[in-house]
């Protein structure tokens, strides 16, 4: 159990360190989703093609889950 707790703590710290480096995408229109313009404000290298690929439900906007998955996959990296 002690080894598990140590491994879990290390994992949480690593995740937090990565999250701190990621830009924050602001939901400027407060609609609960993220547009291409909002994503590009945080990730200048985000292309329309990458955005559409991340938009798995084809809604034209990214949900928080879609955005998180795209960021984790480095879809908007330059």
Residue 1 above 90 pLDDT? no
Q: What is the pLDDT of residues 6-65, one digit of tens each?
A: 443 444 434 443 455 679 999 999 999 999 999 999 999 999 999 999 999 999 999 999
Question: Which two tokens mark 78?
Answer: 């330059």
Q: What are the phi and psi torsion angles at 61 (to 5°)?
A: -135, 160
Q: Could you list the residue range(s) of the whole structural domain that residue 36 is in? A: 24-78
| pLDDT grade for 5, boundaries at 50, 70 and 90 | very low
Number of separate domains in the chain: 1
pLDDT of amino acid 40: 97
Any idea what the CATH number is for the domain that residue 64 is in?
Answer: 1.10.238
* Cα distance between the two ends of the chain: 41
| 51 falls within a domain | yes
């Amino acid at each position: 159990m002690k080894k598990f707790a140590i491994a879990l703590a290390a994992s949480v710290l690593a995740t937090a360190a990565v999250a701190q480096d990621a830009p924050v995408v602001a939901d400027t229109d407060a609609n609960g989703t993220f547009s291409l313009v909002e994503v590009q404000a945080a990730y200048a290298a985000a292309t329309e093609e990458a955005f559409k690929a991340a938009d798995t439900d084809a809604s034209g906007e990214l949900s928080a889950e879609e955005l998180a998955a795209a960021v984790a996959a480095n879809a908007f990296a330059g």
